[in-house]
Chains A and B, each alone.
Chain A
Amino acid sequence: MMRNISTICGKEVRAYFTSPIAYLLMGLFGLITGFMFYSATVYFINAGTQQQMSGQGGAMSINDYVIAPLLGNAGVIGLFLVPLISMRLFAEEKRSGTIELLLTSPISDWEIILGKWLGAMVMYLAVIGMSAINVGLLFAWGTPDWRPILTGYLGLILQGATVLAIGTFISTTTKNQIIAGGSSFAICLLLWVLSWVSNYSDTWYGKAIAYCSILVHFEPFSKGIIDTKDVIFYLSAIFLGLFLTARSLESLRWRA
């Protein structure tokens, strides 16, 4: 089983890195987070200098002023880049007819799905890894607390894995990559703004809707907190996304 999954995963990773999409996404993400990092760092240095000159208060934390906002923003940007990773997973196979090769090979649907999803995860890790350059610079010139950084990246990985699972499912529903990407993007946007419901509704269903927002569950991670309920939320959402993918793939056999 692991061999089949790793075979498909390896093929997906090669497909990403033999096309411009990998370098485009990594470049875009690196550029945007780099700019945000630069802005936050300059602000941190200026504010810190002013505080020292005025002799007010204690030391400012680089984790609070630079790293937490950086990871928070990386989470939002990642949310919008992930559809570009997931859109081709099955839509392209359906368009080109290679889905027939996969579905007539002696491998299970779950092996195909996990292989593709893990391949997309590797691509996602390469993208968010670009922000690690910024964090590395902080370690070169200062001594930030590494624990919130680790939890922040764990949160980013879980959030990305969730959105990729949903995007993988959407990719099975169409032959058109643009439709797959656009639909995934719309759902990501929805999952982001769901948290706004808590601003004006205090009812149980308002809370329930806000609870479904992916970013709400990411915030504690970016502050260095690992809450079991957030981890369970992400794992459940990943399973749901992959389960729907499996059902969709099965229905493809009946509808093809």
Chain B
Amino acid sequence: MIKVEGLTKRYARHVAVNNISFEVGKGEIVGFLGKNGAGKTTTMRVLTCFLPPTSGKASVAGFDVVDQSLDVRKHIGYLPETPPLYPEMEVSGYLTFVAKLKGIASPDVAKRVGEVIERTALGSVANTIIGKLSKGYRQRVGIAQAIIHNPPVLILDEPTSGLDPEQQREARQLIASLAGDHTIILSTHILSEVEQSCSKVIIINDGQIVAVDSVANLHRRRQGGEMVAVQVAGAPEPEVRQRLELVPGVAKVIGRDAPEGSVAFEIEALEQYTVRPDLARAIVQSGWDLNELRTVGESLEEIFLDLTKSEVKPADAAPATTGATS
């Protein structure tokens, strides 16, 4: 649905995006992660035809962003970082204006505006002047204008930025409800949002892509062997440690704090081994109580910070090309 090949965007003295390539398949929700100034917004602006690329190619729904710009714009809904709203207009009037701009046939405009107002829960403010709305409502109006023409591709630049936790949750639910019908690229600084909403992550740093993969694969790839946390009651610490070290595939047993009456460890497994069933069996067969057994992983936040360290070069990081297509 979206294909980017060797895309570069250069300003006078600054390369904002440097030779990036990725693909996004139909119906995917992709999280676009990067620090401020990493090149996320520039990439989104190229995809929405707001900016032309300096070199390279990008296409949306099979249309080239330079040569078939009007066709691309028909297939895209775009929410910039600052929602493009006219504060003097009423919500319904604004959406009617956008619907006409997006080419919805006149007889269908009122119906479509009504549908979008309902879907984004804007009914109570439909006749309110946009300038008087709260930030949360304005963001919803921004999302409403992006989906008004039911585009197959949605590009959302920090859709939950500046919202309070309740508003963020509502915005996330709204975006999640759009999944399936739309291919979505969303940029955000909230990493838990990506873990909850996105099937794939693109991490960009200093204008270059350092990782393209699913959240699960990123965890797996960064982590090497499996890490498991266990908590056991009913035996002294050395005895449990000794037994756990005998389980096939266990590389290292590291002690950690535990409530009184129990012992706890973090167990690092060798690559290719899944040690949880054997650990559980060993503990239960020894007659001890198994209070906790769970996989622990590097958080997405840690992965993100690690990949976007300034000294990290794309070649050193997780290979972007392996997961670059879908």
Q: Shortest CB–CB separation between residue B208 and chain A, in angstroms?
A: 21
Q: Is the CB of B100 within 8 A of A3?
A: yes
Q: Is the CB of A106 within 8 A of B74?
A: yes
Q: In the docked arrangement, what's the CA distance between A107 and B71, Å?
A: 10
Taking the complex as formed, is A19 at the interface, i.e. its CB lies under 8 A from any CB of chain B? yes
Taking the complex as formed, is A229 at the interface, i.e. its CB lies under 8 A from any CB of chain B? no
Taking the complex as formed, is B145 at the interface, i.e. its CB lies under 8 A from any CB of chain A? yes
Taking the complex as formed, is A228 at the interface, i.e. its CB lies under 8 A from any CB of chain B? no
Q: Shortest CB–CB separation between residue A118 and chain B, in angstroms?
A: 15
Instruction: Chain B residues near A19: list those with CB within 8 A.
Output: 88
Q: In the docked arrangement, what's the CA distance between A102 and B80, Å?
A: 12
Q: Is the CB of B45 within 8 A of A98?
A: no
Instruction: Chain A residues near B48: list those with CB within 8 A.
Output: 100, 104
Chain B residues numbered 63-106 whose CB sits less than 8 Å from any CB in chain A:
70-71, 73-74, 76, 78, 80, 82-89, 93, 97-98, 100-103, 106
When the two chains form the complex, which single residue of A7, A8, A15, A103 contacts B88, counting CB atoms closer than 8 Å? A15
Q: Is the CB of A105 within 8 A of B88?
A: no
Q: Is the CB of B97 within 8 A of A100?
A: no
Using CB atoms, name the residue of chain A closest to B48.
Answer: A104
Taking the complex as formed, is A11 at the interface, i.e. its CB lies under 8 A from any CB of chain B? yes
Q: Shortest CB–CB separation between residue B91 and chain A, in angstroms?
A: 14
When the two chains form the complex, which single residue of A4, A8, A97, A254 contacts B80, counting CB atoms closer than 8 Å? A97
How many chain B residues touch A (CB < 8 A): the figure is 30
Q: Shortest CB–CB separation between residue A99 and chain B, in angstroms?
A: 8
Taking the complex as formed, is B229 at the interface, i.e. its CB lies under 8 A from any CB of chain A? no
Instruction: Chain A residues near B145: list those with CB within 8 A.
Output: 101
Q: Is the CB of B100 within 8 A of A106?
A: no
Taking the complex as formed, is A49 at the interface, i.e. its CB lies under 8 A from any CB of chain B? no
Q: Is the CB of B100 within 8 A of A101?
A: no
Taking the complex as formed, is B52 at the interface, i.e. its CB lies under 8 A from any CB of chain A? yes
Chain B residues numbered 97-127 whose CB sits less than 8 Å from any CB in chain A:
97-98, 100-103, 106
Q: Is the CB of A4 within 8 A of B101?
A: yes
Taking the complex as formed, is B49 at the interface, i.e. its CB lies under 8 A from any CB of chain A? yes
Taking the complex as formed, is B246 at the interface, i.e. its CB lies under 8 A from any CB of chain A? no
When the two chains form the complex, which single residue of A102, A107, A108, A254 contacts B52, counting CB atoms closer than 8 Å? A254
Using CB atoms, name the residue of chain A closest to B45.
Answer: A256
Using CB atoms, name the residue of chain A closest to B106.
Answer: A3
Q: Is the CB of B86 within 8 A of A105?
A: no
When the two chains form the complex, which single residue of B70, B87, B98 contacts A101, counting CB atoms closer than 8 Å? B98
Number of A-B pairs, beta carbon distance below 8 Å:
74
Instruction: Chain A residues near B102: list those with CB within 8 A.
Output: 105-106
Instruction: Chain A residues near B70: list those with CB within 8 A.
Output: 106-108
Q: Shortest CB–CB separation between residue A12 and chain B, in angstroms?
A: 11
Instruction: Chain A residues near B97: list those with CB within 8 A.
Output: 7, 11
Q: Is the CB of B85 within 8 A of A104?
A: no
Q: Is the CB of A104 within 8 A of B51?
A: no
Q: In the docked arrangement, what's the CA distance between A101 and B78, Å?
A: 8
Q: Is the CB of B73 within 8 A of A104?
A: yes
Q: Is the CB of A97 within 8 A of B49?
A: no
Q: Is the CB of B100 within 8 A of A103?
A: no
Instruction: Chain A residues near B106: list those with CB within 8 A.
Output: 3
Using CB atoms, name the residue of chain B closest to A256.
Answer: B51
Taking the complex as formed, is A18 at the interface, i.e. its CB lies under 8 A from any CB of chain B? yes
Q: In the docked arrangement, what's the CA distance between A105 and B49, Å?
A: 9
Q: In the docked arrangement, what's the CA distance between A69 and B45, Å?
A: 53
Taking the complex as formed, is B273 at the interface, i.e. its CB lies under 8 A from any CB of chain A? no
Taking the complex as formed, is B288 at the interface, i.e. its CB lies under 8 A from any CB of chain A? no
Q: Is the CB of B51 within 8 A of A101?
A: no
Q: In the docked arrangement, what's the CA distance between A215 and B9, Å?
A: 46
When the two chains form the complex, which single residue of A97, A107, A108 contacts B82, counting CB atoms closer than 8 Å? A97
Q: Is the CB of A98 within 8 A of B52?
A: no
Q: Is the CB of B52 within 8 A of A100?
A: no
Apart from the given pairs A18-B89, A102-B101, A256-B45, 10 other A-B contacts in the complex at a CB distance below 8 Å: A7-B97, A7-B100, A8-B101, A18-B88, A100-B48, A103-B50, A104-B49, A105-B73, A253-B50, A253-B51
Interface residues, chain B, CB within 8 Å of chain A?
A: 45, 48-52, 70-71, 73-74, 76, 78, 80, 82-89, 93, 97-98, 100-103, 106, 145
8 contacts between A and B (CB under 8 A): A7-B97, A18-B89, A96-B84, A101-B101, A102-B101, A105-B102, A253-B50, A254-B52
